[in-house]
Amino acid sequence: MHRWRHGRGRPVRDLLIGILAHFSGAKHTKTARGELTRFLSQLLIGILALCVATALIGFALPRRISVSSEQDLPRPTSIARIVLEDLTRFDAWSPWRAQDPAMATQATSGETPLPGRGLGSVYTYASDSMGRGSFTIVQSDASRSQWRVDLEDGRALTFDFTLTALNEGQSRINWTIAAAFPPGALSGWAALLSQQRLRRDMAAGLNAFEALLEAIPVDASRGPPPVFIEEQGAAWIYIDREALARPSQIHSATVVARSILLERAGRLGLVRTGPFARLWVEPEADQRVRFRVALPVSAPIADSETGILGLTTPAGLVMRADFDDVTDQSLAMQRLRALARLYNVTPTEPLVELLLEEPTPGSAPARTRRFALSLQP
């Protein structure tokens, strides 16, 4: 009974012994067992050699990777950059959010007063499948945006976005991800295998980014129209550089912007305390005039600045005029127009910034908020 149990308790070993005895011609069980021992020893040595070779190759493979993906966009670089650096919109084209719709995300302010937009803004995420991390805009200029990505395990990645202007109001975006894996036997393999996955994710993200820009309508007969972004108590209007050569379009944007600001102020129960204007006229090398009007929404304002008018010429002359009421504003505009005529540039009607105060209960001072209108070339 004991021998029967012993034999029945090792069916795999007995089967291997039988197979080896059959193919090796061994006539005795003891000889077959010796063949099995040698076979298992050689198998173990082979597995160990494979593991050592895998580890050595893993150490030899580069731990630093740089993966790039390009996409042509249906809108100019000015609009593409605005949407790119608006982290409140990152969920709409993030390939990782698409993989985990339950991911919790948040965009917070950086150096700009609008939440989640521009240099210093931070996008944080938390996911059951992808862990936690953050994206921070660390560099921002007209053609390049760089983000630092901090992962939960301490690793850091770099996202580099480069925008290149193409013909007919289109542009091209290049997205490069650079990362370094920590030292380890499998780090080189992890870096190698992650590149294909990153390329797939980046391509999906840029396709979604293209679709997001595609949703911005374009009137072919009048050129790129204003882009309206109205979020979190702000009304932003962006106009492409090509559209700035059309004063009627700028005037139309002014009227629409004023109506947006006044309508939103009424909905939020804010009181208009008085208008003031900001206007920059900057002749380019080809004498094209560029206008920029920026009215950011912010937290309570500590300064008492009421507005600036300025003219920057190719020679570097700058005129500044601060004013508190309509009379001072008119005088400043007269001076600005005089300089404009001197340098053969014609400013359009100034855009008006509304300074709005939100009443607070009791005797607490009113909380001031600025509503945003931005025209950026």
Residues 101 and 193 in one domain: yes
Band of the pLDDT at 248, cuts 50, 70, 90? very low
The 8-class DSSP code of residue 283 comes to E
* Contact criterion met (CB below 8 Å) for 93 and 208: yes
The residue with greater pLDDT, 52 or 6, is 52
Q: Max Cα separation, the chain? A: 117
Residues 22 and 40 in one domain: yes
Lowest-confidence region among 134-138, 149-153, 358-362: 358-362
Residues 343 and 231 in one domain: yes
Domain boundary among 214, 238, 258: 214
Q: Among all chains, which residue has been given the structure tokens 């209007």?
A: 237
**216 C-beta neighbours (distance < 10 Å), count:** 18
Band of the pLDDT at 206, cuts 50, 70, 90? very high
Chain mean pLDDT for the chain: 61
Q: Looking at this protein, which amino acid is placed at residue 377?
A: P
Residues 169 and 232 in one domain: no
Q: Give me the mean pLDDT over the 86-99 stretch.
A: 90
Q: Radius of gyration over alpha carbons of the chain, in Å?
A: 33
**Angle at alpha carbon of residue 234, lines to 230 and 236, rounded to 5°:** 60
Band of the pLDDT at 250, cuts 50, 70, 90? very low
Percent of the chain scoring above 90 in pLDDT: 16
What's the domain range around 124?
A: 64-214
Report the alpha-carbon distance of residue 376 to residue 135 in Å, rounded: 24
Residues 73 and 202 in one domain: yes
Pick from 71, 81, 74: which is nearest to 220 by CA? 74
Domain boundary among 155, 188, 214: 214
Residues 174 and 122 in one domain: yes
Q: Among all chains, which residue has been given the structure tokens 């009424």?
A: 266
Residues 234 and 352 in one domain: yes
Domain boundary among 60, 75, 100: 60
Report the alpha-carbon distance of residue 376 to residue 236 in Å, rounded: 10
Q: Give me the mean pLDDT over the 53-64 stretch.
A: 58
Q: Give me the mean pLDDT over the 121-135 stretch.
A: 92
Residues 161 and 246 in one domain: no
Residues 294 and 309 in one domain: yes
Q: Does 334 score more than 60 pLDDT? A: no
The 8-class DSSP code of residue 17 comes to H
Q: What was the pLDDT predicted at 198?
A: 85
Q: Which residues contact 331 (CB under 8 A, 6 or more apart)?
A: 321, 323
Band of the pLDDT at 87, cuts 50, 70, 90? confident
Q: Among all chains, which residue has been given the structure tokens 């494979």?
A: 50
Residue 221 within any structural domain of the chain: no
Residues 268 and 327 in one domain: yes
* Contact criterion met (CB below 8 Å) for 223 and 240: yes
Pick from 87, 91, 230: which is nearest to 161 by CA? 87
Residues 208 and 234 in one domain: no
Lowest-confidence region among 118-127, 214-223, 285-294: 285-294
Q: Which of 19-23, 172-176, 316-320 tops mean pLDDT?
A: 172-176
Report the alpha-carbon distance of residue 179 to residue 354 in Å, rounded: 45
Q: What was the pLDDT predicted at 120?
A: 85
Structural domain count of the chain: 3
Report the alpha-carbon distance of residue 347 to residue 289 in Å, rounded: 8
Residue 321 within any structural domain of the chain: yes
CATH of the domain at 115: 3.30.530.20
Q: What was the pLDDT predicted at 150?
A: 92
Report the alpha-carbon distance of residue 322 to residue 320 in Å, rounded: 7
Q: Give me the mean pLDDT over the 51-80 stretch.
A: 73
Q: Which residues contact 197 (CB under 8 A, 6 or more apart)?
A: none
